[in-house]
């Protein structure tokens, strides 16, 4: 029996998703059962430290918001390099089972599709990693608007896209699963990760386009130059975006 739900709500992102030794069950197209999950007992990843160090070098941010922060590993790493980081996730299990070193006040339970509990221009740096592909299409405009609202200057995104990693395997054509639509069996291997919106990079750039925001491809290349390549192999297969929010009063 498959663990794929009718709708990917917060309850899907539980211990089996994050930390179970086997993970979530899904059906292959031939009907056989396979398992996928992060299988990370502690929630920590060693790549967080060099990536956070690169952010500090690139953006010199005093504070940071991690959107869809999971168990808070990037929050901890950012604080280690002097960035006052906090974040939120809508998985109650993740927030209640943070990675080592993550304090309760740094990581809160919140749904990104609801108004974010922060004032305008609160954060020098906003990051969202492996996050946007989890959003249903109808929710994406609101979430992008909230991201821009709370951002003061810099935004760093990593998004699973067509041809990149998406669950058990890559997806070479992409897809958009709308809320309430039946899950095709041939997509269960991708959807087991909760990726409901897998689109080409150009599609995402269209969604992110604002007149007061510019994509900084030069900063993306700088990021890759700063981080040891073994930590960003999967990121290179997906989409990394650096956005600079311009001050309209300049």
pLDDT digits (tens, 9 = 90+) for 165-219: 888 877 888 999 999 999 999 999 999 999 999 999 999 999 999 999 999 999 9
Mean pLDDT of 46-66: 98
- SS3 for 137? helix
Q: Is residue 4 part of a domain?
A: no
Q: Is residue 30 part of a domain?
A: no
Q: Is residue 26 part of a domain?
A: no
CATH number for position 135: 3.40.50.150
- In this prediction, residue 248 carries a pLDDT of 56
Q: List, for residues 114-148, the tens digit of each pLDDT value.
A: 999 999 999 999 999 999 999 999 999 999 999 99
- In this prediction, residue 250 carries a pLDDT of 44
Per the structure, the count of domains in the chain is 1
Q: Is residue 171 part of a domain?
A: yes
pTM score of the predicted model? 0.96
Mean pLDDT of 74-95: 98
Instruction: Report which of 224, 218, 221, 225 is spatially closest to residue 244, judged by C-alpha positions.
Output: 218
Q: Is residue 11 part of a domain?
A: no
Residue 7 has pLDDT above 80, yes or no: yes
Q: Is residue 2 part of a domain?
A: no
Residue 249 has pLDDT above 80, yes or no: no
Q: How far is CA 96 from CA 72, 126, 134, in A?
A: 11, 22, 20
The set of residues, in sequence order, having a beta carbon less than 8 Å from that of 14 and lying 6+ positions away, is: 91, 93
Mean pLDDT of 62-84: 98
Instruction: Report which of 77, 81, 48, 28 is spatially closest to residue 190, judged by C-alpha positions.
Output: 28
Range of the domain at 239: 45-245
Helix 140-150 to helix 201-208 angle (10° resolution) is 60
Q: Is residue 8 part of a domain?
A: no
Q: How far is CA 45 from CA 13, 77, 82, 116, 162, in A?
A: 18, 10, 19, 27, 25
Q: Is residue 92 part of a domain?
A: yes
């Amino acid at each position: 029996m498959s663990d794929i739900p009718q709708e990917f709500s917060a309850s899907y992102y539980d211990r089996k998703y994050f930390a179970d030794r086997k993970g979530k069950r899904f059906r292959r197209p031939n009907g056989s059962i396979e398992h996928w999950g992060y299988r990370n007992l502690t929630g920590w990843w060693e790549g967080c430290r060099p990536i956070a160090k690169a952010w500090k070098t690139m953006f010199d941010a005093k504070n940071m918001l991690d959107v869809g922060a999971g168990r808070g590993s990037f929050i901890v790493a950012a604080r280690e390099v002097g960035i006052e980081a906090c974040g939120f996730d809508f998985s109650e299990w993740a927030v209640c089972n943070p990675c080592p070193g993550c304090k309760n006040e740094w990581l809160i339970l919140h749904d990104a599709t609801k108004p974010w509990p922060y004032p305008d221009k609160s954060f020098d740096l906003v990051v969202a990693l492996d996050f946007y592909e989890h959003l249903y299409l109808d929710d994406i405009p609101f979430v992008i608007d909230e991201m821009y609202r709370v951002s003061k200057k810099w935004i760093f995104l990593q998004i699973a896209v067509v041809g990149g990693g998406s669950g058990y395997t890559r997806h070479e054509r992409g897809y958009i699963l709308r809320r309430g639509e039946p899950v095709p069996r041939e997509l269960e291997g991708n959807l087991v990760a909760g990726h409901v919106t897998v689109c080409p990079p150009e599609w995402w750039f269209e969604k992110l386009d604002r007149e007061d925001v510019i994509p900084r491809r030069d900063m993306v290349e700088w990021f890759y130059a700063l981080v040891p390549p073994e930590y960003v192999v999967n990121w290179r297969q997906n989409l990394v975006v650096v956005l600079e929010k311009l001050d309209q009063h300049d």
